[in-house]
Amino acid sequence: MSLIDAYNEAANGDPSIFAIPFYLVFILWELYLSAKQKLNLYVKKDSFASLSMGIGSVIIGILTKTLFYLLFTFIYQFRIFNFSMDWVMWIVLFLADDFSFYWHHRLSHQVRILWAAHIHHHSSQRFNFTTALRQSWGEPFYKFFFWAWLPLIGFSPISVLVMHSFSLVYQFFQHTETVKKLRLLGSIFNTPSHHRVHHATQIKYLDKNHAGTLIIWDRL
C-alpha cells in the first residue's frame, strides 16, 4: 500500500473532520452565553492559543494517522480472529476503544515523558470548548500504539480509526462549564462535571477521571 492510498484510507476513517463546523457553532454559542451571563469563560489570547494548537494538531495528525494506518494494516495481516462488523462487534469495538483511551490517558498523567507531551492540553487558564482543541503536537506520534492490539485481535484498521474519531467528537463536548452535573448520565458516561474535576488544579482532584466516553473504567 502506498502512502497516498494509506492517507486516503486514514482520511476516510476520520469523521471528526466533519465535526469541525459543529465545534465552531458550539464555541460561538458558548461565547454568546458567556457574554450574556458575564461568566468570563473566554480570554482572547488563551482561546487563540487553543485554536492554533488545534490546527497544528490536525496538520500533524494527517501524517501520523497515515503512518499508523500503515502499521495497523501490517498488524492486521496477523490477526487472531476474523470479525464480521455487525452491531455486536461495533459495541465490542466501542468498549475496546474506550478502554484503550483510558490507559493512554491515565499513563499520560503518570509517566513523566508522556506527561511532557500531554501537559499542553492542561495549560489553559480557562475551561471552555476551545480548550478541547488545545491538543498536543507530540501525542499523535505515539498515542496510537495504545490501539495497536485492536487490529491484532481482528478489528480492521479503518474501523479502529472511525471509532477513535467518534470518541474524540464526544470528548469535545466535555470541555464546558455551562453544563451542570448530570447525575443519571454521569453514573455511566463521562460528563462535563467529571471532566472539570480532571482539569482542576487542586491537589485533591489531581489525576482523577481519565475517562474518554465511559466513566466506568475510573469507577472500577
217 pLDDT more than 80 = yes
Q: What's the one-letter identity of residue 123?
A: S
| Percent of the chain topping pLDDT 90 | 87
**pLDDT, tens only, 92-127:** 999 999 999 999 999 999 999 999 999 999 999 999
Contacts of 217 (CB under 8 A, 6+ apart): 98, 99, 102, 210, 211
Neighbouring CB atoms inside 10 A of 3's CB total 12
Question: Which grid cell is 68?
Answer: 499508523
- pLDDT of res. 113: 97
E strands of 80-188, at which residues?
Answer: none
Neighbouring CB atoms inside 10 A of 146's CB total 17
* 183 pLDDT tier (thresholds 50, 70, 90): confident
- pLDDT of res. 171: 97
DSSP 82-102: -----HHHHHHHHHHHHHHHH
Pairwise CA distance, residues 198 & 145, whole Å: 23
Pairwise CA distance, residues 46 & 82, whole Å: 47
**pLDDT, tens only, 27-67:** 999 999 999 999 999 999 999 999 999 999 999 999 999 99
- pLDDT of res. 16: 84
Q: What single DSSP character describes residue 38? A: T
- Average pLDDT for 129-156: 97
- Average pLDDT for 141-147: 97
